[in-house]
């Protein structure tokens, strides 16, 4: 059965109102709702509105603060470090993207590191904020409060999935790279386990270090782990990437696993570059456009319809959702309806003929 589709404005308004009802102020709720919805528009359904009930629980428990400002711990003109104080991560990261882009227009590049941020959702959702301004942007995140990924050759969790995303302006749609240092994410593992499904390959290790296609090993006692990207053959590459991401996020922010935090959240790095201060934006998009078009024109191997550039699918899904409505993945509509009922809000109805 096809997912039912909902109007973009209706979902955005519901998400904002649910966050407001849990104690988030107007600006933070609006930005958080916008970016959660953006993830669903792009097809990243494990990191969009599916997260809203968990964010509400964190707000209600006082572990996520819905008001107040980050503290500036250091400011070196082209770099800054913020203490987010466990405030909404999507709002903090969006603000960091905007600030890094502004500073990059003066210095060519600029970076903002954030300690004690709330969870920041889908990294790809932040990238168009920068590429629309002609900036290259990198966003990286890790969560020092938990671990689900073992280093290559090991069987005890040390890292989180450690995502990293890069937005690259090009003549048409931007190139949007959103990857992680692990084969899959915590959220996808949980969804597959909840639905009683197996993975398409050996994405996990059980507690004894045996490869498994069963995500349920993560919830076993003792728990298993997610394999680093590259799996059993080339997982050293994923482990290397995890070290880089955790150093750039926790190390540059000065707060991480060494402090043994217990609050669900993130250490974040945002870096922006302004091509105008290098060889020029026109030269930059000439190069990125050439590369993107040659990739799309590459002859596909058997069984592949066409070669896609990173971000092609996300932007196509986004255009379709804006035109026809947002399809919600299984379970999300019901979860949102339950949250709405708790606070006396109405769940919007689906768009007629939008499924």
**CATH 1.10.1530.10 is the classification of domain 1-68+325-355:** yes
Determine contact, residues 123/141, Cβ cutoff 8 Å: yes
Would you call 6 helix, strand, or coil by DSSP? strand
Determine contact, residues 70/87, Cβ cutoff 8 Å: yes
pLDDT tens for each residue of 331-353: 999 999 999 999 999 999 999 75
What residue has token string 């998009």? 285
Alpha helical stretches, state H, the chain: 8-21, 26-41, 52-61, 89-107, 127-131, 186-194, 231-246, 252-253, 281-296, 312-324, 332-342
Q: Report how far apart, in Å, the C-alpha atoms of 254 and of each of 35, 68, 114, 258, 298 are.
A: 26, 21, 9, 10, 44
pLDDT tens for each residue of 215-233: 999 999 999 999 999 999 9
pLDDT tens for each residue of 173-216: 999 999 999 999 999 999 999 999 999 999 999 999 999 999 99
pLDDT tens for each residue of 283-295: 999 999 999 999 9
CA distance 269 to 282: 27
Inter-helix orientation angle 26-41/89-107, to 10°: 90
Could you tell me the residue ranges of all domains in the chain?
1-68+325-355, 69-182+231-314, 184-226
CATH architecture of the domain with range 69-182+231-314: 2-Layer Sandwich (3.30)
Q: What is the mean pLDDT of residues 146-168?
A: 98
What residue has token string 């880089």? 244
Q: What is the mean pLDDT of residues 37-57?
A: 97
- State the CB neighbour count (10 A cutoff) for residue 282: 10
CA distance 18 to 22: 6
CA distance 172 to 174: 6
CA distance 350 to 101: 37
Q: What is the mean pLDDT of residues 82-103?
A: 98
**Do the strands 79-87 and 71-75 form a parallel or antiparallel pair, or are they unpaired?**
antiparallel
- The dotted CATH code for 184-226 is 3.30.60.50
> How much is the pTM?
0.96
**Helix count and strand count (H, E) for the chain:** 11, 12
Question: Maximum CA pair distance of the chain?
Answer: 56
């Amino acid at each position: 059965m096809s997912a039912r589709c909902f109007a973009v404005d209706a979902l955005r308004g519901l998400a904002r109102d649910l966050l407001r009802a849990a104690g988030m102020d107007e600006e933070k709720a609006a930005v958080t709702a916008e970016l959660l919805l953006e993830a669903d528009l792009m097809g990243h359904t494990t990191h969009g509105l599916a997260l809203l009930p968990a964010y509400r629980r964190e707000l209600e428990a006082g572990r996520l603060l819905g008001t107040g400002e980050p503290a500036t711990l250091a400011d070196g003109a082209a770099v800054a470090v913020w203490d987010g104080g466990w405030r909404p991560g999507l709002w903090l990261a969006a603000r960091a993207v905007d600030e890094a882009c502004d500073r990059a227009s003066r210095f060519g590049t600029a970076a903002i590191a954030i300690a004690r941020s709330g969870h920041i959702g889908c990294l790809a959702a932040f990238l168009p904020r920068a590429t629309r301004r002609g900036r290259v942007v990198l966003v990286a995140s890790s969560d020092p409060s938990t671990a689900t990924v073992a280093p290559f050759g090991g069987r005890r969790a040390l890292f989180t999935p450690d995502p990293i995303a890069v937005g690259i302006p090009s003549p048409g749609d931007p190139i949007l790279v959103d990857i992680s240092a692990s084969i899959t994410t915590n959220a996808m593992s949980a969804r597959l386990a909840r639905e009683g499904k197996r993975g398409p390959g050996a994405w996990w290790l059980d507690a004894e270090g045996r490869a498994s296609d069963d995500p349920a090993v993560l919830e076993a006692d003792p728990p298993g782990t997610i394999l680093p990207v590259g799996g059993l053959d080339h997982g050293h590459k994923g482990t290397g990437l995890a070290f880089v991401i955790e150093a750039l996020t926790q190390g540059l922010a000065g707060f991480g696993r060494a402090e043994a935090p217990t609050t669900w959240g993130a250490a974040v790095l945002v870096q922006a570059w302004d091509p105008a201060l290098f060889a020029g934006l026109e030269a930059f998009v000439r190069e990125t456009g050439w590369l993107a078009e040659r990739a799309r024109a590459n002859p596909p191997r058997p069984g592949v319809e066409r070669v896609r550039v990173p971000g092609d699918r996300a932007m196509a899904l986004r255009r379709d959702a804006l035109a026809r409505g947002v399809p919600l993945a299984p379970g999300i509509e019901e979860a949102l309806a339950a949250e709405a009922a708790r606070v006396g809000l109405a769940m919007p109805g689906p768009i007629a003929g939008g499924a």
